[in-house]
C-alpha cells in the first residue's frame, strides 16, 4: 500500500511504518531523533496511511502510552498531530476518549490545554 509523506509517496514497508505498526517505541524514538530538520520530522509524524491515520492514531488505538509520549515529544508542533483527523474525522484525543483510554486522553489533553485557554 502506498503512503504519503509531505506530499510524496512512500511505501508501507518503510522502517518508519514497520516500527509504528509493530509498536517499536525505541526504534521510533531513534528515527525521530535522526531527522534533524524540524519540518521533515513534523511531516514524518503527520504521514498517513490509506485511512488517513497517522502514527499517533495508531499508537492511541493500541493504547501504547510509551509510543504516544515518544511521538508527542518528537513533534515540533504536538497540537498539529493531536488534532490531525483521519478519514472518519477522528483526531487522537477523540480516539482516546472513544476507546476509553483515560491515561492517554489525559496525556494528550495536557498537550492541548493552551489551545483551549486552560493554561495559567
Question: Consecutive 10-residue runs of the chain (120 residues): their mean pLDDT?
Answer: 51 78 93 91 91 95 96 94 95 96 94 63
pTM here is 0.84
Give CA angle at 14 (17, 37), nearest 5°.
Answer: 85
Per-residue pLDDT at 38 = 92
CATH number assigned to the domain comprising residue 65: 1.25.40.20
Per-residue pLDDT at 14 = 84
* Domains: count for the chain: 1
**Residue 70 C-alpha from the chain's centroid:** 9
Domain span at residue 102?
A: 2-116
DSSP 28: H
Please give the Cα distance from 8 to 101 (Å, whole number): 33
Please give the Cα distance from 21 to 97 (Å, whole number): 21
Please give the Cα distance from 106 to 93 (Å, whole number): 9
Amino acid at each position: 500500500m502506498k503512503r504519503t509523506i509531505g506530499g510524496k509517496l512512500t511505501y508501507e514497508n518503510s522502517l518508519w511504518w514497520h516500527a509504528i505498526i509493530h509498536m517499536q517505541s525505541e526504534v521510533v524514538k531513534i528515527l525521530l531523533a535522526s531527522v534533524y530538520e524540524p519540518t521533515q520530522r513534523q511531516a514524518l509524524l503527520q504521514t498517513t496511511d490509506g485511512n488517513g491515520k497517522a502514527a499517533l492514531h495508531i499508537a492511541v488505538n493500541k493504547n501504547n502510552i510509551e509510543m504516544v509520549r515518544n511521538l508527542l515529544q518528537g513533534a515540533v508542533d504536538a497540537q498539529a498531530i493531536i488534532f490531525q483527523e483521519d478519514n472518519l474525522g477522528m483526531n487522537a484525543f477523540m480516539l482516546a476518549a472513544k476507546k476509553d483510554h483515560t491515561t492517554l486522553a489525559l496525556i494528550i489533553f495536557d498537550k492541548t490545554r493552551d489551545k483551549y485557554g486552560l493554561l495559567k
